[in-house]
Chain A
């Protein structure tokens, strides 16, 4: 009997005779593999799913990124964010992060950052957001230096039917989004959506309304179809307009040389269209071509900034097996980025209009050194950018899977950040000044021979599942940076008298340099635990330190202090997702963000809570409270000519209706 019982344990007799309830109560002996395929990826990857976005009650993409370990999401004011990983969130927002929405880069080459106020879509139509910490330049190219954020929306087949979502709250005058999806013939589906929101302003240091209101409207469509059995295509597009207020800051009128207080409100318009075609060449080989056009216009009337950036991009990619042990991937592309500026007294570019041309080729091979145990991924991107030259971005990744519950990876990669238009061709003046006499203004002057910044990153990671209900992820990194951009204090040779409208002042324009070098290191850990059915608990901790210096005999203590002091040393989050009943869900998220020494922003703790009731499968009502611990707090110290405002506690009621 005993051996028979043991035998029964190993190969149970007919489980198909069990009811579904019995099956749900049955335990499994071992998990054949780690839960996510990402747990086997040789990189520090974290995925925000639609379920996470929904349960967090995120009303914008930055809010959905709040709990990603390793990411520092800094809200500057109601409509502006700086988002970075592994440091560098200080120098004019964050300049080492690449962000893509459905394969379209939204990285703005004008300032090497992302205008988060215009990166939006229907939150319910996001399938997932993949966040890769560490360089991704081998696949994504230049500017995927410290990390990559990939927003992926659902295909049109998944969004048929109507969905209406609306919300109103103490800080939200109202928001509404509507999507309609349906079929186009037998082989294609479409969706169209529109959304609008009107958000109230935050408060200044004294608790008074700061004027940083935010109103934006957006519409878009997506079509997904199948051409014949092996060809699929996607066509999608978006248009938007955003009106963003800001808190007043001290400005200088260069025409009269008189200082005044005014907000730098801005308007932004944009449109984009993308097409992608994928041809299947068997179960594990595909060929795809993608092309897009993107237009982003931004106007700040106060200082005369008016920029139209247009991107045209075409790229192809081919994945194919190379024998039993090799998986190959190669591709290439061309990108044209055209900029059209209107020079003003304060913001000017020389030449005023210009275009960047990018060519790239990449190849990668994933080699099964020991099948299912050890794999090696080798690859590189080869890029050429006008005015910058050739860029080489190789990567080596090793993944060791000793058993079904553990995998260990290491990576060495090189990534480059190409200089922004400002660093190359900009002249920004009059934002910082000292009363006279003579009145002195400080500004910056770009340099067309600015080289690309270089990062060599060393990473080590461990994904583990010690028990079936417990998942653990750890990443360690050591980054070595060279030729980081800086603007040293101007010397006497950089200053000259300038006369405008008969008024003479001393204008100091510090030239763009690349004198900073240094290292950063840290760790990111996350634990994902499901103690009982219907309860999930996630905790993450991030430790990060940057140590930089001016190379050789150069001296730039301000940039050193800014770089070292603009990111939190410690970050912690804890999140609980609880199903109270089949229809009632309760979510809590706590975050701790350490102080930002350079801008003297204090450490803060904050708590969000959300209760949702699914009346039936089609209607959900929810109530959420955000930033519950304090009435208000700063997350950011702002930038020259951009005043940070205090994030406020708020309550938001929302409905989601599918019909």
Chain B
């Protein structure tokens, strides 16, 4: 068969080429696992967000509170640069430790304690993200939701303003709804 004839080196070369092309494939409608896509959204939100001046940090903390639905999908993001610092994935387990997050993804399992989470974060510059319909009404800054087989997002502008975080106009334009 054709591929048995390839040398190891050329196979590596082809894989490398594919790796380069894969993003383009994905953009043409190639289907990807849900949480791989959602992880990429998290990374992108951070790129379009400006946090107010804070004490210099060594790392960019991307936190997941509650049962982590991403599994290993976050590994592709860990260590990548965001706002000059490498991304660190943090799985905090107490409310007290949430203040150190730049982005906080509140997993479904933690939604019952959402009011306490939001109270603990009140006034802090932490970009909160959660999945599902109506999350922005519950005080989350960015709500991720599925529209058909695509991921869309909603933005809660007043919560953002309140926290001192600013997001680019492009992000607002691309959001399905600004609350």
Contacts and interface: CB of A to CB of B under 8 A. Distances in A.
Contacts of A160: 158, 162
Interface in B18-52: 18-20, 22-23, 25-27, 29-37, 39-41, 43-44, 48
Interface residues of A, number: 74
A19 B174 CA distance: 11
Q: Which interface residue of A11, A15, A33, A469 has the most chain B CB atoms within 10 A?
A: A15
Contact of B139 (A12, A31, A154): A154
B54 to A, nearest CB: 16
A26 B26 contact: yes
Contacts of A493: none
B87 to A, nearest CB: 10
B15 A4 contact: yes
Given A28-B151, A157-B118, A12 B162 contact: no
Contact of A18 (B40, B95, B119): B40
Interface in A3-28: 3-5, 8-28
Most buried by A among B22, B25, B170: B22
B59 interface: no
Contacts of A24: 150-152, 174
Contacts of B83: none
B172 A20 contact: no
A17 B122 contact: no
B138 A158 contact: yes
A579 B171 CA distance: 18
A15 B26 contact: yes
Contacts of A12: 22-23, 25-26, 30, 32-33, 36
Interface in A552-585: 579, 582
Given A225-B119, A229-B95, A469-B148, A49 B76 contact: no
B77 A16 contact: yes
Given A16-B80, A18-B23, A26-B29, A468 B122 contact: no
A49 B171 contact: no
Interface string A275-309: 00010101110100000000000000000000000
A96 B147 CA distance: 37
Contacts of B26: 12, 15, 18, 22, 26
Residue in B33, B77, B80, B132 whose Cβ sees the most chain A Cβ within 10 Å:
B33
B18 to A, nearest CB: 5
A229 B27 contact: no
Contacts of A501: none
B165 interface: no
A230 B95 contact: yes
Given A15-B26, A582-B173, A23 B137 contact: no
B113 interface: yes
A533 B138 contact: no
Given A9-B30, A15-B40, 6 more contacts: A13-B22, A16-B40, A20-B170, A26-B32, A532-B148, A617-B178
21 contacts: A4-B14, A20-B171, A26-B29, A28-B149, A30-B33, A35-B146, A36-B132, A49-B133, A127-B134, A128-B138, A155-B115, A155-B139, A226-B116, A226-B120, A286-B113, A467-B149, A468-B148, A469-B147, A469-B148, A533-B176, A582-B173
Closest 5 CB pairs of A and B: A469-B148, A15-B40, A49-B134, A50-B137, A158-B139
